[in-house]
Amino acid sequence: MTRPILARIEPAAFRHNYLLARQQAGGARAWAVVKANAYGHGLLSCAEAVRDCVDGFALLEIGEAMRLRAAGFTQPIVLLEGFFAEDDLRLAAANAISSAIHCEEQLRLLELAELEAPLDVFIKLNTGMNRLGFVPERLPEVLARLRASGKTGQISVMTHFACADGTGIDEQLARFNAVAEPTGLPRSVANSAALLRYPHATYDWVRPGIMLYGGSPMPDMQSAADLGLRPVMTLASRIIGVQNLRSGDCVGYGASFTADRPMRVGTVACGYADGYPRHAPTGTPILVNGQRTRTLGRVSMDMLACDLTGLDAGLGSSVTLWGEGMPADEVATAAGTVSYELFCALAQRVPVVEG
């Protein structure tokens, strides 16, 4: 028998979330951000779910972009970190894959390259995230060099917000618009949080990411359910062992949990080697037979413990680690992380099924 753990992916939920994002975008076009194997959900599964309605795809790796082209997707594709070598640049141009340009090295590489076709580019500006991008004051120079190169097609401008899910975007947006708006070029600034909180900043292209997978970009303000989002991934397992504890008995490595009364404890076939966060503390929410309970003690490589006291549950009972009925955002918050990490950390050994 196979180990009783699997991740169930619901492509219909991905489609629902994308259509909601596009509706929120108003007249703007919406990339589906499918980087990192669609946040661990499966690139082609998610892409197929929106084949007939998606405006375009945003990702990082030229290899993933080529997988989409090989699968027959003709929509615009953009590489959010741009190209890393001349071969990538030539491949992107030959296959109508747009690219961010965020540094002098990329700009020089483009100026010197021999390309089969013009490359559509997005000039990335650093307006305060301080991760990637030209300082805004360089936009006129970069734009002039791109135009003079004769290597580009459509030129657009983009930036990325640091605090769209928190203190806001006003300062960054003002810096961006001071230089980008006068150019009249298409603009892209809104990620999931900005799309949901700041409709005045949708502009020409929006790039929803976490919301497409049923996670809230601002779980401390609004839950995914409140936003109308549906979970795309459900990580499920079963109880494979039951222990009856006396008061004073301990659970797991390090004896980090001690029972203060008689308890029933279930052992779940899921651990950090499956992608469950090792740092998730006692009290992290979990569903057993549809009943909400909590984890106990330290997460092991292949197993974790949960409280079955008073539950109608036992050996073989179904467990939902996150997903349908157990929001990934809640699990992530309890573990001191974000749902992005839970999804992306799903281990290769976990079987993935659709529907």
What are the extents of the domains in the chain? Answer: 11-213, 233-354
Q: Which CATH architecture has domain 233-354?
A: Beta Barrel (2.40)
| Residue 1 pLDDT | 63
- C-alpha triplet 149, 152, 155: angle, nearest 5°: 115
Residue 41 has pLDDT above 80, yes or no: yes
Give the model confidence (pLDDT) of 281-330 as tens digits: 999 999 999 999 999 999 999 999 999 999 999 999 999 999 999 999 99
Neighbours of 253 (CB within 10 A): 11
**Among 110, 205, 200, 198, which residue's Cα sits nearest to residue 148?**
110
How far apart (Å, rounded) are the C-alpha atoms in residues 26 and 353? 33
Question: At residue 152, what are phi and psi to the nearest 5 degrees?
Answer: -115, 155
pLDDT of residue 217 exceeding 90: yes
Pairing verdict, β 257-258 and 97-101: unpaired
Mean pLDDT value of segment 153-159: 98
- Which distant-in-sequence residues (6+ apart) come within 8 Å of 325 by Cβ? 287, 290
* Whole-number pLDDT of residue 204: 97
Q: pLDDT for 237-281, tens place per residue?
A: 999 999 999 999 999 999 999 999 999 999 999 999 999 999 999
Strand pairing class (56-59; 77-79): parallel
Tell which residue, 323, 230, 348, has the closest CA to residue 8. 323
Share of the chain above pLDDT 90, in %: 98
CATH class of 11-213: alpha beta
Task: Quickly tell me which residue has 């157990």 as its tokens.
Answer: 326
Its pTM surpasses 0.85: yes
Smallest CA-to-CA distance from 58 within 28, 85, 33 is with: 33
Instruction: Dump pLDDT digits (tens) for 65-92.
Output: 999 999 999 999 999 999 999 999 999 9
Residue 133 pLDDT more than 80?
yes
Strand stretches in 228-274, DSSP E:
233-245, 250-251, 257-258, 263-268
Q: Is the pLDDT of residue 143 over 80?
A: yes
Token pair, residue 271, equals 């651990």
Q: Please check whether the two domains, 11-213 and 233-354, share a CATH topology.
A: no
What's the rounded mean pLDDT across residues 32-42? 97
| Angle value at C-alpha 201, between 36 and 328, nearest 5 degrees | 40
Active site residues: 35, 253
**Does 355 score more than 90 pLDDT?**
no
Please say if the pLDDT value at position 43 is more than 80: yes
Across the range 172-185, mean pLDDT stands at 97
Mean pLDDT of the chain: 97
